[in-house]
Amino acid sequence: MAQKPSNPKGTRDFLPEVMLRRNLIFDTIKEQFIRYGYQAIETPALEKKDTLMGKYGEEGDRLIFKLFPRGRKGEKLLEEKDASHIEEALRYDLTVPFARFVVQHQNELSFPFKRYQIQPVWRADKPQKGRYREFYQCDADVVGSNSLLFEVEFIHIYDKALSKLGLTDFSININNRKILSGIAEVCGESDRIIDITVAIDKLDKIGKEGVQKELSEKGFTSDFLEKIDPLFDLSGSNSEKLEKLKSYLAQSEIGMIGINELEFILDKISKSTLENAKLNFDVTLARGLNYYTGAIFEVKAHGVSIGSIGGGGRYDDLTGIFGLKDKPGVGISFGADRIYDVLEELNLFPDFSKDSTQVLFINFGEAEADFCMQQAELMRANGMNVEVYPESTKMQKQFKYADQKGIPFVVLAGSREIEGGKVQVKNMASGEQRDMDVKSLKEVETWK
């Protein structure tokens, strides 16, 4: 029986045009990773269940796709109704598998180990617009160094990769977890740092009064609200904000360490040139708080409906969960799906003619096709992408094929043309038709 086929909810098929655009994004980012010495690795989609479970919180554990065990294990699972017979699962992100990788292969790696990884991940989430059950992550991390030069490097990577993709208006927001700790300390609420940062992280959305209201509701006193008030009005340049915060945090040792780290990074960046990124110190940025221990990054595109297109930060202990201590690191992530949407909204995707078929030979019959096949081989050897239509069917049908596939040039080589050594070439965009020497077909691309 014929089935009506479809892909599962929350997953996607990528058609050729979309693939070209996605690959442009990945290739551009990859190129910058390589420029800075990051090396590609891949880990399997399948991980042992125990590698993943307990690393993403209770909700995360629920969202991990588990595999039904094969053979006897699967029977036992059903007989005993005991999910502990499940042994394998699909990776939920690239970070935990990377930590596992570093610990497992520590003797084969040179530290600081700089890796990038672009692979799909799976989450058994409720599918909705922009949220998928299978999607690519695109990460670079370095482990095994405390050097803040890596934070500087990642800012450059963000700047260069996004600029090369054509973005001109975006900011890299930066904060430091130690500054957030300092704020909580200065306000006398060190223990409640999470409540505080969850609230001030919303400043963008709900405004100062909204944040104050949320803090009150959570039981923070008016004395506290007064103490934290100056943070909402931090304005001016990065160094102006830093100066104000310095006096504010003067009594907090951890806060001042955070200030120093941030100053170091801003100083190094000021000595170099960013192409398009605006580096912006944002004391309310608190992304992934429990995880990060130093710098926190978030990249935002301006003038588009979708904002955040990347993020990352420093962590002191990524591999500790797998028993390897003292491997601090820092990493960033590019939100490829988001970047795709931004580039589409801003109409920044280029013409892809170099990556798809450039010339189609019309098929007039077997003898002519022999000639065209030979010409096509010569052109391919010159680095061009060429097709010969496979059947000598109606011209209209052959032209329609070129049109639908976006092939820019169509060559008509009938027996008369072949004898004369000249063929007709049609420029599909302009509709113009020309006689061309067979030998110069390899330069047809210059005719625009």
Residues between 313 and 332 with contacts to a second copy, criterion CB under 8 A: 320-323
**Of 288, 271, 328, which is closest to residue 180 (Cα–Cα)?**
288
Out of 3, 290, 396, 446, point to the residue binding a second copy (CB under 8 A). Answer: 3
8 or 219: whose CB is closer to a second copy?
Answer: 8
Give the residue from 51, 46, 88, 40 showing the smallest Cα distance to 67: 88
Residue with Cβ nearer a second copy (281 or 361): 361
Nearest partner of 213 among 75, 203, 204, 35, judged by Cα? 203
Instruction: Tell me which residues in 128-187 interact with a second copy (CB under 8 A).
Output: 133-134, 145-147, 149-150, 152, 156, 160
**What are the b/e assignments for 106-126, b being 16+ CB within 10 Å?**
beebeebbbbbbbbebbbeee
Shortest gap between Cβ of 314 and a second copy (angstroms)? Answer: 13
- Quick check: bond before 112 cis, omega within 30? yes
Of 187, 188, 218, 214, nearest to 201 by C-alpha is: 214
The alpha carbon of residue 229 and the mean position of all alpha carbons in its chain are separated, in whole angstroms, by 36
Does 396 sit near a second copy (CB under 8 A)?
A: no
107 binds a second copy (CB under 8 A): no
Helix (H) or strand (E) holding 249: none
Q: Give the whole-angstrom CA distance, residue 385 versus residue 446.
A: 15
Q: Tell whether residue 13 is a contact of a second copy (CB under 8 A).
A: yes
Q: How far apart are CA 162 and CA 137, in angstroms?
A: 16
Question: What's the closest the beta carbon of residue 242 comes to a second copy, in angstroms?
Answer: 19
CA distance 393 to 374: 20
Tell me how far, at minimum, the Cβ of 162 lies from a second copy, in Å: 15
- Whole-angstrom distance, CA of residue 43 vs CA of residue 331: 17
Which CB sits closer to a second copy, 248 or 401? 401
Nearer to a second copy, 228 or 418 (CB): 418
Q: Minimum Å distance from CB 275 to a second copy?
A: 10
Sign of the C-alpha dihedral computed for residues 335, 148, 290 and 248 taken in this order: negative
Choice from 171, 276, 385, 427 touching a second copy (CB under 8 A): 385
Among 237, 373, 415, 443, binds a second copy (CB under 8 A): 373
Determine which residue in the list 26, 65, 291, 349 makes contact with a second copy, applying CB under 8 A. 65
User: Taking CB under 8 A as the criterion, which residues in 35-64 touch a second copy?
Assistant: 35-37, 39-48, 50-51, 62-63
How many other CB atoms are there within 10 angstroms of residue 225's CB atom? 14
124 lies in the site for a second copy, by CB under 8 A: yes
Per CB under 8 A, the list member of 369, 412, 423, 425 interacting with a second copy is 369
Q: Which residues are bridge partners to 296 per DSSP? A: 175, 313
Minimum Å distance from CB 444 to a second copy? 15
Write the DSSP string, 313-339: EEES-SSGGGT--S--EEEEEE-HHHH
By CB under 8 A, the residues from 398 to 427 that bind a second copy are: 400-401, 404-405
Complex with a second copy: residue 45 or 256, whichever CB lies closer? 45
Backbone Cα Rg of the chain: 28
Stretch that binds a second copy, among 111-119, 185-193, 278-286, 288-296 (CB under 8 A): 111-119
Q: Segment near a second copy (CB under 8 A), from 200-208, 290-298, 300-308, 378-386?
A: 378-386
Using CB under 8 A as the binding criterion, the count of chain residues that bind a second copy stands at 100
Residue 306 lies near a second copy (rule: CB under 8 A): no
- In the block, residue with structure tokens 């072949």: 418
User: How many residues make up the chain in this entry?
Assistant: 448
Say if residues 360 and 398 touch (Cβ distance below 8 Å).
yes
Q: Closest separation between CB of residue 100 and a second copy, Å? A: 4
Q: What residues between 345 and 364 interact with a second copy by CB under 8 A? A: 355-357
Tell the smallest beta-carbon distance from residue 7 to a second copy (Å): 6
